[in-house]
Amino acid sequence: MVLATHSGLKAATSPFSLDAEAEYDRWRADKLRHYPSSIEALIVEIRDPMTLQPAEHDAIVSRIRRANMAIYAAPAALGENKAVPRELGRQFGLTHLDGNLLADDDAISSLTVANGAPRRDFIPYTNSAIKWHTDGYYNPPENRVQAMVLHCVRPALQGGANQLLDHEMAYLLIREHEPEYIRALMAPDVMTIPARAEDAGIARPAQAGPVFSVTPEGRLHMRYTARTKSIEWKDDALTKAAVAFLEALLASDLPYIFRGRLEAGQGLICNNVLHDRSGFKDDEARPRLLYRARYHERIAGS
């Protein structure tokens, strides 16, 4: 079975353009026909993430084509080896890492509870819950985060689970309900992340942009955060209705939302899907540790 990947499409003929209704109808039928029915359907057992076997590679790509994400399950004894997410990503054409402010020197983030500044002031480095978001929602368009690898070295003692929703499925559900909501969420000024100031000046300028956008290649990109502080939404009735509908979707028990927790040796590789994280309790002797690698390109073959 071969799934359509829309290779060679341009933005105007993308199924994610509101003016391309025939393309959308074909894409929608294909998406719903092949969408996974459970998180278990996303899991691929692998022996060595740094040297995938062809069948393992193809199985991961197949799942990403269906849901923009896959979960790999490797031996738990890999230990604290940051080459794992880096080499895994490389095998899927992921090479341009997003070197965000709090990432390690190699541009891969070590997500664990931090005791010192500045990381302790940012929720990913605490044991608090994180609301729904896509990664890099504060990035400018030229540095958009399109893919991510999240590799678990050690899970928390309790909690630390994720909910996952394919951003294309979120788009589909919104468009089916009200296409004008998609138009509102595609406005170039619909969501603004205010500037972040530090003692030394502006650490990051304000960043306005759309929630949904179509890349020049015809792919769908989403930037979103459910946070209620340090965010400004466009102040009009249509935007408010669209945002409220998206929030309701994310708070529902949709069968398209997958729920689970990464265990040692497991990882998520995805085209920057929507996700959250529950709060957790650590084992002080073996604190939770995940490696996060963000990329500026999509996963090859997806």
- Which CATH number belongs to the domain containing residue 20 in this structure? 3.60.130.10
193 part of a folded domain: yes
191 part of a folded domain: yes
77 part of a folded domain: yes
300 part of a folded domain: no
217 part of a folded domain: yes
pLDDT for position 143? 92
pLDDT for position 200? 53
pLDDT for position 197? 65
pLDDT for position 117? 65
pLDDT for position 195? 83
pLDDT for position 184? 98
For residue 161, which of 1, 276, 8 has the smallest C-alpha distance?
A: 276
Domain count, the chain: 1
Q: For residues 242 and 183, give the distance between their C-alpha atoms in angstroms, rounded to a whole number.
A: 9
Q: Which two tokens stand for residue 84?
A: 């794992």
Q: For residues 219 and 15, give the distance between their C-alpha atoms in angstroms, rounded to a whole number.
A: 9
Say how many CA atoms lie within 13 Å of 67 toward its Cβ.
Answer: 25
116 part of a folded domain: yes
pLDDT for position 9? 59
pLDDT for position 116? 73
1 part of a folded domain: no
For residue 296, which of 1, 19, 97 has the smallest C-alpha distance?
A: 97
As to burial, measured by CB atoms within 10 angstroms (0-12 exposed, 13-18 middle, 19+ buried), residue 252 is: exposed
178 part of a folded domain: yes
- DSSP, res 234: -
Under a CB-based contact definition with an 8 Å cutoff, are residues 222 and 17 in contact?
Answer: no
Host domain of residue 192? 11-295
Q: Would you write out the chain's pLDDT as a tens digit for each of its 302 residues?
A: 334 445 445 777 899 999 999 999 999 999 999 999 999 999 999 999 999 999 999 999 999 999 999 999 999 888 899 999 999 999 999 999 998 777 788 899 999 999 876 677 788 999 999 999 999 999 998 899 999 999 999 999 999 999 999 999 999 999 999 999 999 999 999 999 998 766 555 567 889 999 999 999 999 999 999 998 889 999 999 999 999 999 999 999 999 999 999 999 999 999 999 999 999 999 999 999 999 999 999 999 99
pLDDT for position 212? 98
